[in-house]
Structure 1
Amino acid sequence: MTESKRVLSVSMSTPATFGELYVDITETITGLKALQREAKKATQALRELEAAQLAVVE
């Protein structure tokens, strides 16, 4: 098992029944990091726009 997978114990219909669920989260983490980068870029662009609008008003 690689570091990008997690093991979850899942309770089924009876308390004595358990299973393991292997989840590959590599692509999910990569996608979330990309989303975070884009959000930071958008936030920076909004700050720059706000600063430009304030400069025009003054």
Structure 2
Amino acid sequence: MITYITRSRMIGFPDYTTVLQAGEELLIHARSRFGRRDFGVNAVRVERWIDALTAY
């Protein structure tokens, strides 16, 4: 398991993205560090990661 700190482009707010390999599965959990909403930024980030991983 590893957790990355990623930052939004506009303001630079920190977000946490945790990746865990469970057997054959890769689990990715992204969330905001501050506040209650992220306006879908983390979901888009995870989708881009998955697209990049499945492109091979």
Shorter-chain-normalised TM-score: which range? 0.3 to 0.5
**Greater helix percent: which structure?**
1
**Greater strand percent: which structure?**
2
Higher CA-based Rg: 1
